[in-house]
Amino acid sequence: MVSKKILSILGLGLMLLMVGSRSDSLSAENLPVEYLNSPETKALGLPFSEAVRVGNMLYLAGQIGNTPGKLELVPGGMRAEAKQAMENMKTILERNGSSLDHVVKCTVFLADMKDWPVFNEVYRSFFSSHFPARSSLGTSGLAIGARVEIECIAVVPAKKK
């Protein structure tokens, strides 16, 4: 009789073998990587891409409440900056085949954690069907004196035939 321990070890080995062979076909070198920028972002000459697509995943760089194509914050303080940052994020997602409905993770950086309730009010107005996983943290400063910066990860759904 074969012991349960031996069967468990054989089962684990078979599972690892199957996972190992599957990971070869899904390895990073087989996935195309696209570095994406709008003409407005390219014109700013910043040393990063506004989004990077790997397979069907879209990774957005942090978005602040700037007027698109300019390194100027919108006037109006935290609420206005948060709204503009979310609009900037939404625009980039849609330009690259995704949407807020496909965001799975957000990271929010706040210049002052006291702004967390105001940010949450704005944030809630952009997500209607779900809330992505999210982390929020306070910082000692953000680019061009911004009050908020948001980055996200989203799925790019397959095109319907």
DSSP reduced 3-state for 56: coil
Q: In a structure prediction context, what are the per-residue pLDDT tens digits for the chain, which is 161 residues long?
A: 445 554 444 454 444 444 444 444 455 568 899 999 999 888 888 899 999 999 999 999 999 999 998 999 999 999 999 999 999 999 999 999 999 999 999 999 999 999 999 999 999 999 988 999 999 999 999 999 999 999 999 999 998 76
Tell me whether residue 138 is in a domain.
yes
Measured distance CA(102)–CA(93) in Å, rounded: 9
- Same domain, yes or no: 22 and 52: no
C-alpha span between 48 and 42 (Å, rounded): 9
Same domain for 41 and 24? no
111 and 53 housed in the same domain? yes
In a domain, 160, yes or no: no
Q: What is the pLDDT of residue 13?
A: 46
User: Do 44 and 83 share a domain, yes or no?
Assistant: yes
Query: Which residue range forms the structural domain that includes residue 106?
Result: 32-155
Q: Looking at residue 55, which CATH number applies to its domain? A: 3.30.1330.40
**pLDDT score of 129:** 82
Q: What is the pLDDT of residue 82?
A: 98
136 belongs to a structural domain: yes
* Same-domain pairing of 14 and 36: no
Q: How far is CA 65 from CA 2, 70, 110, 114, in A?
A: 65, 10, 12, 18
Do 116 and 40 belong together in one domain?
yes
Same-domain status, 23 and 39: no
pLDDT in tens, 30-74: 889 999 999 988 888 889 999 999 999 999 999 999 999 899 999
20/36 same-domain check: no
Q: Do residues 25 and 36 both lie within one domain?
A: no
Task: Work out how many domains the chain is built from and give that number.
Answer: 2
87 and 138 share one domain: yes
**88 and 102 assigned to the same domain:** yes
Provide the β-strand partners of residue 136. 108
Decide if 161 is inside a domain: no
Together in a domain, 23 and 99: no
